[in-house]
């Protein structure tokens, strides 16, 4: 599994500072860091043996994200590794902050749901004439009938999304706010990767191909492959963006402006920051919408229980009269 965003950001920042201070790559890798110590020592041995950076990075464990590897290799080849590592550190720090916001926004609604799941089976066991009907097996059965499907769907959905299942990702894209968040996040990641590769000195065709290969969005992958093939034929990417149907108008305009003025790397990194801010806005909307829907479901459940109590109470009074 890749290293979490927060320790990965710390590792990149520490490595950038040590390289900028004049330490060799081997010395920097041997220093204590959040990365696995044994793996770092093996990479340092390869660096001391004179292995090229691409072979060193290829030997890194799964803790180093696949999307970051081509950026590091390109930066090292162009002699811009400290600068690119700082960009990667800032990028992962932002992703870590976004993940924390998601967890905080989800904590209270999940608590309310599980509290309702614990109470609902118990309330259904109450009978005004006989008292509490059933025992522990009845209660556990009612609890399992709520939690098992909910957790089962959540786990299956998580696994399918992690595996990149096309149907699961398409369903996510259809959800209000979440779909917008995913689209903005994909554009941000794509622009960031493309901008960093170009800033690191990668050829533009290779940069487009690598940015598409690491993108989780199928439309961006297809568009990047198409544009990379056109670049090989001698065409500039800017005029081709609109025909792919994968990029919004603002992205196209700012890319073409950067291409014309020679500030393409800065334009792409600015686009990445802008799309990241919009993704935050979609995430905030999702954090308001879905807890509200969950509260409405809990309120409906409470209303159902109250109405059931009233009906049972009225039936009891009628039988006594």
Contacts of 164 (CB under 8 A, 6+ apart): 216
Pair 209, 236: CB distance under 8 Å: no
d(CA 161, CA 167): 9
For residue 112, the Cα-to-chain-centroid distance in whole angstroms is 25
DSSP at 246:
-
User: Is residue 199 very low, low, confident or very high in pLDDT (cuts 50, 70, 90)?
Assistant: confident
d(CA 262, CA 96): 32
User: Is residue 267 very low, low, confident or very high in pLDDT (cuts 50, 70, 90)?
Assistant: very high
Inform me whether the pLDDT recorded for 257 exceeds 90. yes
Nearest to 18, CA basis, from 93, 85, 92: 85
Contacts of 151 (CB under 8 A, 6+ apart): none
- Taken as a whole, the chain contains a residue count of 321
CA torsion 62-67-69-75 (nearest 10°) is: -160
Query: CA distances (Å), 79 to each of 29, 74, 87, 158, 274, in order?
Result: 17, 9, 15, 39, 28
Nearest to 88, CA basis, from 283, 271, 269, 255: 269
Residue 162 in tokens: 């992690």
CATH 1.20.81.30 domain extents, the chain: 179-279
Pair 209, 228: CB distance under 8 Å: yes
Pair 170, 204: CB distance under 8 Å: no
d(CA 101, CA 147): 25
Residues above pLDDT 70, as percent of the chain: 92
Centre a 10 Å sphere on the Cβ of residue 245 and count the other Cβ atoms it contains. 9
Element (H, E) at 183: helix 178-199
**Three-state SS sequence of 7-56:** HHHHHHHHHHHHHHCCCCHHHHHHCCCCCCHHHHHHHHHHHHCCCCHHHH
Evaluated on CA atoms 198, 200, 206, 210, the torsion sign reads negative
Nearest to 196, CA basis, from 77, 98, 72, 95: 72
Q: Strands (DSSP E) along the chain, which ranges?
A: 126-127, 131-132
In the predicted model, what is the mean pLDDT of residues 245-252?
91
Fold of 179-279: Receptor-associated Protein (1.20.81)
The confidence score (pLDDT) of residue 78 equals 77
The confidence score (pLDDT) of residue 321 equals 61
pLDDT, tens only, 25-81: 899 999 898 989 999 999 999 999 988 888 898 898 889 988 888 888 888 877 888
User: Is residue 124 very low, low, confident or very high in pLDDT (cuts 50, 70, 90)?
Assistant: confident
d(CA 53, CA 252): 34
Mean pLDDT of the chain, nearest integer: 84
Q: What pTM did the predictor assign?
A: 0.75
Nearest to 123, CA basis, from 304, 285, 257: 304
Inform me whether the pLDDT recorded for 89 exceeds 80. yes
d(CA 247, CA 270): 15
User: Is residue 126 very low, low, confident or very high in pLDDT (cuts 50, 70, 90)?
Assistant: low
Residue 16 in tokens: 């950038």
């Amino acid at each position: 599994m890749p290293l979490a965003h927060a320790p990965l950001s710390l590792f990149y920042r520490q490595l950038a500072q040590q390289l900028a201070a004049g330490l060799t790559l081997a010395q920097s890798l041997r220093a204590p860091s959040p990365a696995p110590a044994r793996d770092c020592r093996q990479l340092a041995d390869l660096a001391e043996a004179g292995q090229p950076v691409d072979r060193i990075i290829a030997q890194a464990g799964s803790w180093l994200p696949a999307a970051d590897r081509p950026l590091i290799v390109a930066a090292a080849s162009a002699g811009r590794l400290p600068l690119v590592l700082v960009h990667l550190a800032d990028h992962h720090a932002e992703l870590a902050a976004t993940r924390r916001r998601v967890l905080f926004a989800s904590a209270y609604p999940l608590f309310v749901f599980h509290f309702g799941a614990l109470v609902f089976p118990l309330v259904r066991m109450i009978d005004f004439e006989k008292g509490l009907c059933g025992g522990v097996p009845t209660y556990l059965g009612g609890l399992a009938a709520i939690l098992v499907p909910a957790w089962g769907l959540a786990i299956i959905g998580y696994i399918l999304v992690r595996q990149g299942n096309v149907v699961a990702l398409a369903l996510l894209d259809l959800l209000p706010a979440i779909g917008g968040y995913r689209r903005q996040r994909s554009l941000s990641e794509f622009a960031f990767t493309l901008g960093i590769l170009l800033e690191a000195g990668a050829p533009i065709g290779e940069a487009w191909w690598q940015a598409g290969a690491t993108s989780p969005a199928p439309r961006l992958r297809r568009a990047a492959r198409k544009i990379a093939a056109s670049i090989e034929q001698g065409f500039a990417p800017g005029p081709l963006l609109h025909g792919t149907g994968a990029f919004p108008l603002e992205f196209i305009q700012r890319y073409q402006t950067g291409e014309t003025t020679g500030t393409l790397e800065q334009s792409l990194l600015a686009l990445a920051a802008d799309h990241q801010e919009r993704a935050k806005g979609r995430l905030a909307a999702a954090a308001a919408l879905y807890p509200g829907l969950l509260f409405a479901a809990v309120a409906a459940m409470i209303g159902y229980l109250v109405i059931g109590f009233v009906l049972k109470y009225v039936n009891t009074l009628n039988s006594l009269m």
